[in-house]
Amino acid sequence: MHTSRLLPILAVLLLPAALLAQERRTLTPDDLFRVQRVGAPQVSPDGEWVAYTVSVTSLEDERTDTRVWMAPASGGDPVPLTADKKSASSPDWSPDGRLITFLAARDGGKTQVWALDRRGGEAYALTDVKQGVSAYAWSPDGTRLLLTIRDAEEEDEEKENAPRDPWVIDRLEFKRDGTGYLTGDRHTHLYVYTVASKELKQLTIGRWDEGRAVWSPDGTRIAFVSNRTDEPDANENSDVWVVRADLPEPTDAPTRITTNPGSDESPAWSPDGRSIAYVTTTDVDAIWYATSYLAVASAEGGESRILTKELDRNPSSPRWSDDGAWIWFGLEDSAENHLARIRPDGSGLERPVSGALAAGAFDWAGATFASQASTLDRPTEIFARTGMAAGMGGSPGAAAPLRDAPRITHHNDSWLAEVTLGETRNVHFSSADDTEIEGFVAFPPGYRADDPAREQLPVILRIHGGPVSQYSHSFNFEARMFAADGFVVVYTNPRGSSGYGQSFSQAIFADWGNKDFQDVMAGVDFVIARGWGDPDRLGVGGWSYGGILTNYVITQTARFKGAISGASEVLYVANYGHDHYQYEWERELGLPWEGDNRATWERLSPFNRAHLITTPTLLMGGKEDWNVPILNSEQLYQVLRRRGVPTQLVVYPGQGHGISVPSYQKDRYERYLQWYRKWVKNEGRPVS
């Protein structure tokens, strides 16, 4: 298994000594609203500035606002570009560097592309699209915008004050979390907007949706992603397509570039416009457990070449160097997120940004390279290196300085100076069958894990969602919050997790709650064996698949004194046709009414072993969750309540799978702490 390497980039993440000397406090749920979330960097064409976003959630105002900022690439004070409490997103630079553009909905209107002259003045709307704009991109010559626009809803003025029409359903996939019922025949299409004349021309039509659209280097063509099969709801066969930008009339027959029956996405043009790099998933039967690969195809179509077949790790967001000598991409690997590059023939893989960190979105222009990065001790900030090889090409050694790129944003410094954080360790241990598992252990502030006289503390096992996801070397607010309350927190990457190859992830295919159960329990035993955790005071919990695996845990062992199952599933057949996963259910478990499939559905359902649960369990979820419907939590609650097992059901009104209302976010964390304090730390006694 890959071993993390501590690189010099981490040195610049340390707080100044003057800040360390200040008196600090322990972290609380309210600190969630002090963390500033720094978004993707966009480097100005001259390489002098980096634009990015900062999102802040206000408990008082019950809202999250996002502002666009700009920081000097060589370091210095950043400048806020958009107004407070007027959210903006997707910042970009016009090709001449004069304008900074962004998406925003102002004065009660729909989302439009807005522009701000870098030399000063007020922001103004570049577009005026009735139904609003979903995404945009500047043409290389700066004269046009590529717009992604969803069809407008039909309006009936005569029914303005009447009840809504009934939802008439005729799609195979008819529901989506965050959207609700999928009705009508509205689709998302591509348009070209000429800035000077304000002319809007539609490029694509039809009963399909288009997205991830990018200009060719000469501005004559556009590559995009679309599932244009006869029944898009019945598969995940998205392909890369190309359409000309100067079509006199919109078309429903663009040029197909890829023919893989799986998912092809994230197209990126080569500088000469002859090739397109993209991310492909070829193992259709493995659904979300499959490893994705970096591939290259001719921009005219034809046979594709997979570049990372032997890597067995998931790439993302490819981009060619300006000289066409390299393809850069994000790379998920063993609880780390790297930035890598590879030659177009698949040779010479390098990881210019790697080690014990979680690198995110990146960009370059001129001689400046910028990227996001987070570590265990710091939320995401922007790092930039100036004086680099222009266009991020050149010799292999040219990218080496990226490993110690200085940090140019400091949005969370003042907050970090207020709180005291304990140690978090990256750990490896063996599961029951000797499979090596990776994870993290967070300790309370001041806890000396290597002190022979250390105290055995109550332990919380937290389980990530997905299941195809991973805990990484990034700042984990939730783990820090529990640790600040006196718990040792173990959070692991059991089988099913991404970042460790397809076999590791696919090990739980149609076998949930078996090997992944063994893996998370091995993490608990590891903490106890080290003398850090009290074996008689154990808690467990998670959200989404983290809640699902929690259900498996408490149906198989009575070792835990308290559990929290958030947005989980329990009786799987009840979800078929009720949640938005009909395709994935059928692929993994089969149609529930055919052959022996129903036996598999029932074997895997924790509901059928719910009578074995003795652990006091808090159940939570959103009222409007169509990802993992609240039906599941209601069913498990009924079983536990009927049997006299201590339980509560907390349902958040109007919320989907993610809890977005700030006061609900705080309420959830406070309930977490109250439940674990009572049942784990105090062993069922009242909390003083």
Q: Tell me the domains of the chain and their CATH numbers.
A: 420-570+605-681 (3.40.50.1820)
- How far is the C-alpha of 480 from the C-alpha of 470, rounded, in Å? 17
Write the secondary structure of 46-83 as one string of H (helix), E (strand) and C (coil). CCCEEEEEEEEEECCCCEEEEEEEEEECCCCCCEECCC
Give the pLDDT confidence score for residue 191 in this predicted structure. Answer: 98
Give the pLDDT confidence score for residue 462 in this predicted structure. Answer: 98
Give the pLDDT confidence score for residue 11 in this predicted structure. Answer: 39
Give the pLDDT confidence score for residue 118 in this predicted structure. Answer: 83
Average pLDDT (629-655) is 98
Residue 284's Cβ-side half-sphere holds a number of Cα atoms within 13 Å equal to 13
Q: Exposed, middle or buried: residue 28 (CB in 10 Å: 0-12, 13-18, 19+)?
A: middle
- How far is the C-alpha of 476 from the C-alpha of 491, rounded, in Å? 10
Instruction: For Cα atoms 14, 499, 284, give the angle at the middle one, nearest 5 degrees.
Output: 150
User: Percentage of residues in the chain with pLDDT exceeding 70?
Assistant: 93
Q: Exposed, middle or buried: residue 187 (CB in 10 Å: 0-12, 13-18, 19+)?
A: middle
Average pLDDT (166-189) is 90
Residue 611 has pLDDT above 70, yes or no: yes
Helix count (H) and strand count (E) of the chain? 10, 38
Tell me the pLDDT tens digit for each residue of 375-407.
999 999 999 999 876 676 765 555 556 767 899
Average pLDDT (167-180) is 91
Give the pLDDT confidence score for residue 3 in this predicted structure. Answer: 34
**E strands present in 302-392:** 305-306, 315-320, 327-333, 336-342, 350-353, 358-365, 368-375, 378-385
Give the pLDDT confidence score for residue 404 in this predicted structure. Answer: 79
Nearest to 256 by CA among 293, 317, 210, 301: 301
Give the pLDDT confidence score for residue 512 in this predicted structure. Answer: 98
* 193 neighbors 215 (Cβ within 8 angstroms): no
345-357: buried (b, 16+ CB within 10 Å) or exposed (e) per residue? Answer: ebeeebbbbbbbb
- How far is the C-alpha of 32 from the C-alpha of 256, rounded, in Å? 46
Instruction: For Cα atoms 659, 661, 662, give the angle at the middle one, nearest 5 degrees.
Output: 105
DSSP string, 473-519: SS--HHHHHHHHTT-EEEEEE-TT-SSS-HHHHHTTTT-TTTHHHHH
Give the pLDDT confidence score for residue 6 in this predicted structure. Answer: 30
- How far is the C-alpha of 320 from the C-alpha of 294, rounded, in Å? 12
150: β partners: 188
Q: How far is CA 485 from CA 19, 100, 181, in A?
A: 23, 44, 41
Instruction: Answer left, alpha or beta for residue 567, where phi above 0 means left and psi between -120 and 50 means alpha.
Output: left
Average pLDDT (500-505) is 98
CA distance between the termini of the chain: 45
DSSP string, 611-668: GG--S-EEEEEETT-SSS-THHHHHHHHHHHHHT--EEEEEETT--SS--SHHHHHHH
- How far is the C-alpha of 370 from the C-alpha of 357, rounded, in Å? 15
Residue type, 405: A
Nearest to 488 by CA among 570, 572, 427, 571: 427
Average pLDDT (569-586) is 96
In this structure, what is the dihedral angle of CA atoms 386, 389, 390, 394, given to the nearest 10 degrees?
-160
Q: Exposed, middle or buried: residue 444 (CB in 10 Å: 0-12, 13-18, 19+)?
A: buried
Tell me the pLDDT tens digit for each residue of 21-72.
458 999 999 999 999 999 999 999 999 999 999 999 999 999 999 999 999 9
- How far is the C-alpha of 475 from the C-alpha of 488, rounded, in Å? 16
* 626 neighbors 175 (Cβ within 8 angstroms): yes
* 158 neighbors 140 (Cβ within 8 angstroms): no
Average pLDDT (636-644) is 98
Average pLDDT (348-359) is 95
Tell me the pLDDT tens digit for each residue of 180-198.
998 888 899 999 999 999 9
Tell me the pLDDT tens digit for each residue of 415-440.
999 999 999 999 999 999 999 999 99
Task: Please give the helix or strand (H or E) that residue 524 lies within, else none.
Answer: helix 515-529
Tell me the pLDDT tens digit for each residue of 209-241.
999 999 999 999 999 999 999 999 999 999 999
Average pLDDT (484-496) is 98
